[in-house]
Structure 1
């Protein structure tokens, strides 16, 4: 009777390559975050500079546009009502 023991296969992983890959991934992530921080800083600085250089601040522009929209709406309602009353 021939008794064979089943051979167990093992995966041999080159730990040096795994460690190198992990280090490179970490370095890449750090560089990416640094790049994103620099870009965000530049964009926010440009936005602040743009707002500072505006003749009319955004909040004041929004309030002015809101008043214009209300007046236009009121004028439209009045025109519609005067037309409706004139036809009846």
Structure 2
């Protein structure tokens, strides 16, 4: 007769390994965030330098392109209307 009994439903967890894993994961997250912050800082500095060195600031370029688009739209509309008028 076998007198060896195992209790069902109990799991033995090595809490030392779990704690070590959690600490390593947290340390990895901190290192990862630090790396992302350094990279973002470098990109921000490079972007600012690029904007500073531009002959025409981005806001002024956008305004010029917007005016060009409006003028092109107006010219296209006038051409379409004049074509419609001559065909009628």
TM-score by length of 1: 0.85
- Residues 9-49 of structure 1 show CA distances to partners (whole Å, capped at 9, x for unaligned) of 43222121111111111110100110110111111111111
Quote the Cα distance in structure 1 between the aligned partners of 2:15 and 2:80: 80
Query: What do you get for the CA RMSD once the two structures are aligned?
Result: 1.6
4+ runs of 1 displaced by more than 4 Å? none
Q: Residue 79 of structure 1 aligns with which residue?
A: 79
Count of matched residue positions in the alignment of Structure 1 and Structure 2 = 84
TM-score by length of 2: 0.85
In the alignment, structure 1 residue 40 sits paired with structure 2 residue 33 = no
Quote the Cα distance in structure 2 between the aligned partners of 1:11 and 1:77: 77
Per-residue deviation at 1:74? 0.8
Q: Which runs of 5+ in 2 are unaligned?
A: none
